[in-house]
Structure formats: C-alpha cells, structure tokens
Amino acid sequence: MTPDELKGLIRTVPDFPQPGIQFRDITTLISHPLGLAATVRLLAERAKALGAEAIAGMEARGFIFGAAVAVELELGFVPVRKPGKLPVDVLGIDYALEYGTDRLEIDPSAIAHGQTVVIVDDLIATGGTALAAAQLLRQAGATVDDALFVIDLPDLGGAARLRDASIEVSALMEFEGD
C-alpha cells in the first residue's frame, strides 16, 4: 500500500478531546492487517536507509510502530517509558505539555555509547514528547539524528522544533490543521 492509501485508513474524530480538535485516530490503521504491515515496512525502509542500529519508541503508541520496525530490521528496541515503569535505575527528563508537565524515563543500559538510534512514533504534533525523548536518549550516549512518524501535523510545528534540535523528521503522511 502507498502512503496515500494508508492515509485513507486514518479515522478523523472531530471535537476530540475538546471542541475544535480534529483527532487523527490510528486505530483504524493498526486494525487493518495490510495497512499495518505496509506502514511498518515503509518505516523500516526509512530507518534502514538512515543506518539505524536501534529503534526507540515512546509509550504507548510508539511501542506499536517502533517495536514492529525493530523486529522487521532485526534491531533492538529502546522503550521510552512513563515514570515509574522501569525496575532499574533510570535516566529521566521532565518536559512541558500544553497543559502542564510530564516525564519520560529510559534504562540507560539499553543503549551503547554512540549507538545510532532512530525514534519511531505514530504522530508528531507539537514535538514536545519526541524532543524530550531525543534529549534523554542523547544523555544516555545515543546518537539521535532522525525521527520517523506515521503522521505529521505540520501546522502544530513539531517537526520544525525537532529540526531546530538537529533531528531530521520524516513522516509517511501529513494532515493540515489541528
């Protein structure tokens, strides 16, 4: 399937989670066997071309695509977790959300110093979570120069924020507007 065909599998839910927001729901994509397989394959091709040595994904939807891409490429997967989920000493970072703050954590032993790690996630909106994940992975010693997404919402500026942090961004599809 092509990226345009995959875009047709994304459900738009108006006014969620609040009025005026057009929520891009991947449930309809991941429940479509050929769509899910094609999405993983396309992301994996891009990650391989970037020289990925490991794939990182943020909880929770980044786990879906990131782990599948890692399996496709026979690479390790680095889970970027919500706080309190890892049973070892962690590296953590707090970051700003639209309405407050959040925290991400990783097991630093999951990354070899200098290892090329490509971030994979379902969607980039404002870029706060992806930027925090990249900073955390870099703090652990990874080389993070690229992030791959299924969906980019360019009007929200997240891809530009990552590019400002020297992270190239690639997405399979874009949706204009919120």
Closest CA to 29 of 19, 20, 39: 39
Alpha carbons 39 and 121: distance in angstroms, whole number: 12
Give pLDDT tens digits for 77-128.
999 999 999 999 999 999 987 678 899 999 999 999 999 999 999 999 999 9
Which residues carry out catalysis?
61, 98
Give pLDDT tens digits for 14-54.
999 889 889 999 999 999 999 999 999 999 999 999 999 99
Give pLDDT tens digits for 52-70.
999 999 999 999 999 999 9
How many residues appear in the chain? 178
Contact 106, 137 (CB under 8 A): yes
